[in-house]
Structure 1
Amino acid sequence: MSLFIPTYFSPISQYAEIVHADEVVFEVEDNFQKQSYRNRCYIYNSNGKQLLSIPVKHPLKNQRKATKDTLVENNVAWQDQHFKSLQVAYRTSPFFDFLEDDIANIFYKKYKYLLDVNIDTHLFIMDTLQLNLDYTKTSTYQPKNIENDFRVLADRKHAPKKQFDKYTQMFDDKHGFIPNLSILDLLFMEGPNAISFL
C-alpha cells in the first residue's frame, strides 16, 4: 500500500511514486492544510512559474475541516481562469491539442467538494498515462508509521529527494528548466512518453 494525499493536478514527484505503487490509497481523513498542493498546482508560462489555485471555503476560526469535506468556492470563476491559463501557456505544446477536449471536461463540470475535483484530475492523468491502477480512500486517519507514506508530497515546501530527468519545457530558453511542476507540464510536452520520465 502506498499512501497519498489527493492533490490538484499533482506535482511530478507524486506521480513518480504512483506509477511504482502496487496499491494507491488516498488519505481523505486528514485536516485540510492551506498552502499545499491539495488545491493548487504550478504550470510554466511565458513569465516563468505560475500558480493555479482553487478557492475553497474556509471553516470558522479555530475549526478544523477534513480534506474530504472541503468545499470549493464557486463564486469565483476559477475554472475559466485555470483553463484559459493552460490554453495560453500550452496551446503550442506538442500534445495540448490531443488532450484539450478531455481536460476541458474538468473545467466545465461544477464541483461542490475539492476532493471530487482532485479525484477527477487523478483519473484524467491515469487515463492519459494509460495506467490501469485503481485507488481506494481511507476511512480513518492513517498513522505516521506506514512504510510507503507519500503524504508529504502534498506539502509544497517539501523538496523531493528524487532527481528527475530534464525534459524540454515551453519556455526553458527564457527561464531555464523548472523542476517538479504539475504533471500537466510533462504531459503536454511529452504525451505518452511522459511515463518514461516517471
Structure 2
Amino acid sequence: MIDQDILLSTAYFPPVQYLSKFLAHQTIWMESAENFVKQTYRNRSIILAANGPEQIIVPVEKGRSQKQQIKDIRISYDTNWQHIHWQAIISAYQSSPFFEVLQDDFRPFFAKQHAFLLDFNQQILETVLAILELNPTIKQTVNFEEVPVDCLNYREAIHPKPQKALPDPFFKPKTYTQVFDDKFGFAPNLSCLDLLFNCGSESYAILLASISVRDSVSARSQE
C-alpha cells in the first residue's frame, strides 16, 4: 500500500485509474469544497460503445455565479438524460459477460432523481466499492486548498482529456477483454462500468494488477 493518503475530486462512474486508488491507499480524501470544474470526470464518464469511446455527461444547473462549490452543484433534469445514459449503457454492455448479473445494481441510479451531483456520485461510488468488497476510509474535505499532510493531490491529475491528465507513476492499466476490442483493440482507463460488466468478480484482480508495484510497496489485499 502507498504510504500517503490521496485527495480526489468526485467522479461519475469513475475510470479504472481513479478506482485503483481505493486499493492503493488506506485513506481517500474526497474534495467537497472546490469550485465545479467543467469537462472533467466530475460529471462525465466514458464507456466503450459500438462506434468507440463515448462520453455520457450529467447536466448540471447553472447558478447565478459560475463559481459554485461542488457540494452545491445541482443536477439538471431539463432533458431526460437518465434514460439516454441507461440506453447507451445497455447498448454498449448488454452482451458483456456480467451485465445481467450487475444491471440491477446500477439501474436505480437512472430511475430516481437525485438533487446534488456530489451526493449522487457518492452513492454510485459506494455501490461500486460494495461490489468490489472494498471498505476504504473515505473522508470529505471541509475547506478548499487545505490538502491534508502527506497527502497526494490528484484532484486534477485524473482527466478525460489525455493532454490535461498528469503522469501517474502508480498506475499502469492492465488489459482485459472488452466487448468491442475486436474493432478497437484494448481501450484503457474507461469507466468502472466497462471493467465491472466485462470482468465481474475478476475486476478486483485487474485493479490490483494496474497498481504499479514498482512504486508502491503493496496493495490492500497484500497487507
TM range (shorter): over 0.9
CA RMSD of aligned residues (A): 1.6
In the other structure, the counterpart of 1:150 is 154
Q: Cα–Cα, structure 1 residues 160 and 192, in superposed 2: closer, same or farther, change >3 Å?
A: farther
Deviation at 1:160, TM superposition (A): 5.1
Task: Pick one of 30, 34, 39 that aligns with 2:43.
Answer: 39
Q: 1 CA distance for matches of 2:41 and 2:113? A: 20
5+ residue gaps, structure 2, are: 208-223
Deviation at 1:34, TM superposition (A): 0.4
Map 1:178-197 to 2 at 5 A.
178-197=187-206
2:156 match: secondary structure: helix
In the other structure, the counterpart of 2:210 is none
CA contact (8 A) 1:7 1:154 kept: no
Alignment-mate amino acid for residue 50 of structure 1: E
In the other structure, the counterpart of 2:34 is 30
In the other structure, the counterpart of 2:186 is 177
Deviation string for 1:25-66 (max 9, x for gaps)? 2111001000000000000011010110000112346x3001
Q: 2 CA distance for matches of 1:94 and 1:155? A: 28
22-31 or 146-155, which moves further after superposition? Answer: 146-155
1:80 match: secondary structure: helix
CA contact (8 A) 2:61 2:76 kept: yes
Q: 2 CA distance for matches of 1:93 and 1:160? A: 31
Task: Pick one of 83, 99, 103 that aligns with 1:100.
Answer: 103
Alignment-mate amino acid for residue 95 of structure 2: T
CA contact (8 A) 1:27 1:138 kept: yes
CA contact (8 A) 2:17 2:158 kept: no
Identity between Structure 1 and Structure 2 (%): 34
Q: 2 CA distance for matches of 1:93 and 1:2? A: 32
The alignment's TM-score, normalised by the length of structure 2, stands at 0.83
Q: Cα–Cα, structure 1 residues 72 and 149, in superposed 2: closer, same or farther, change >3 Å?
A: same
Q: 2 CA distance for matches of 1:154 and 1:56? A: 21
Indicate yes or no: 2:174 matched with 1:165: yes
Q: 2 CA distance for matches of 1:92 and 1:178? A: 17
Deviation string for 1:65-85 (max 9, x for gaps)? 011111101111111111111
Indicate yes or no: 2:100 matched with 1:91: no
In the other structure, the counterpart of 1:48 is 52
> How many equivalent pairs are there?
197
Deviation at 1:18, TM superposition (A): 1.6
2:129 match: secondary structure: helix
Map 1:123-138 to 2 at 5 A.
123-138=126-141
The alignment's TM-score, normalised by the length of structure 1, stands at 0.93
Indicate yes or no: 2:124 matched with 1:121: yes
Q: 1 CA distance for matches of 2:69 and 2:24? A: 28
